[in-house]
Structure 1
């Protein structure tokens, strides 16, 4: 049975192949051969290339969670999120060529983009957790999806930047977070309007329920005046 060391070896080989090959050219038989493992062991560790990409995302998630700065706890939420996402970029740096291959593959294949989107959304949920940001229920799903799209735009800029100081990447992240704040404000406004409408509708239903017994009694009085229709 394949062990954790074999899993790490396969994932490392996968990322190395991505650094020099297009994603679509990295087949599972090629990966098994380059990792020097049996196909059965590869299958036991990773059932698909998507599973390998998920493992890569989880590797980066863990590195960010381990590396986050606890001293940022008293800073504004936006600053905490900026810091966490820049840590994510730093953790991705050793795999920049592999990331470039993944992004190129996504641009060419909308179906693959949808598959990878679910992985990105799950990762961004953990980035919000790392930043100490909790957003409830439905709004949380909207926010994590929006953050996944925003971070993909930041990564696009990062992939084209050679400056180690990453001024363009940080500027893009600033803009994306500004855009997200505006979108969140609109979402909050819409949520307040929806809540208000729900309260109004609930009040109307309660008033109808309260009125119905009186209406029924009035109808019975009218029938009494007309006489009963006994069989």
Structure 2
């Protein structure tokens, strides 16, 4: 007669294994990504990024280390994914085609700051680490040129060729100057941030090539 298969006794090693397996069952990759990015940026608010272990990030995110590994092979990849997701949300904003180029760029950058707002405390921590020369945060800085290109493209400004490369560099100076102000601007209306961005874009406008022909031609040129 066939032997009956008995249920594992409570507290037995098999029961514990089954319980642990259910707790660490693989989760949807997008859910893991959401949880890990949020947990990592929250931890960065009070902790040194270089001192954070992936096990701690996983525990804070409520996922297993195996699930985290399936999406993020390193801490650097977490920062890269964070930046890429901000870029994707930024370019999803419908622009105003009839607005002046500088106005479109202003709106794109302010929208980006709105997207970054939930992570401001963590970004402050990462900025502090960057100022101290910590190489762990370099992946975020290395991705900045790509993000700058998408800021320009989202505003309808071409980024190809030498002129496009120059625009990226000039916008980088304006963006970083404003980012420093934004990190310390906790006002509801972000008045300081908007004023800083407006000044930075006005200074950068000639180098970005944003002025329209009518605003840059002289009277003699206009009638020629």
Output the TM-score relative to the length of structure 1: 0.71
Q: By how many angstroms is 1:12 displaced?
A: 1.9
Aligned to 2:117: 93
Distance 1:21 1:92, change over 3 A: same
Show structure 1 runs of 5+ residues with no match: 186-231
Counterpart contact for 1:117–1:148, Cα < 8 Å = no
Query: Is 1:181 matched up with 2:205?
Result: yes
The CA distance in 2 between the partners of 1:15 and 1:111, in whole Å, is: 17
Aligned to 1:221: none
The CA distance in 1 between the partners of 2:90 and 2:208, in whole Å, is: 24
Q: By how many angstroms is 1:83 displaced?
A: 0.7
Output the TM-score relative to the length of structure 2: 0.73
Counterpart contact for 1:158–1:166, Cα < 8 Å = yes
Query: Is 1:59 matched up with 2:85?
Result: yes
Q: By how many angstroms is 1:95 displaced?
A: 1.2
Q: How many residues align?
A: 183
Aligned to 2:152: 128
Aligned pairs for 1:1-231 (under 5 A) are: 3-66=29-92, 68-70=93-95, 72-109=96-133, 111-112=135-136, 114-184=138-208
Counterpart contact for 2:44–2:125, Cα < 8 Å = yes
The CA distance in 1 between the partners of 2:195 and 2:51, in whole Å, is: 34
* Higher percent of residues as helix: 1
The CA distance in 1 between the partners of 2:203 and 2:181, in whole Å, is: 16
Partner deviation per Cα, 1:84-139 (whole Å, 9 max, x = no partner)? 10111111111110111111111111645654332111111111111111132232
SS of 1:138's partner is helix
Give me the CA root mean square deviation: 2.1
Distance 1:113 1:146, change over 3 A: farther
Aligned to 2:213: none
SS of 1:74's partner is coil
Show structure 2 runs of 5+ residues with no match: 1-25, 210-224
Distance 1:106 1:141, change over 3 A: same
Distance 1:125 1:154, change over 3 A: same
Structure number with greater Rg is 1
Bigger mean CA deviation after superposition, 161-170 or 107-116 = 107-116
SS of 2:159's partner is coil
Q: By how many angstroms is 1:181 displaced?
A: 2.0
Counterpart contact for 1:107–1:113, Cα < 8 Å = no
SS of 1:126's partner is helix
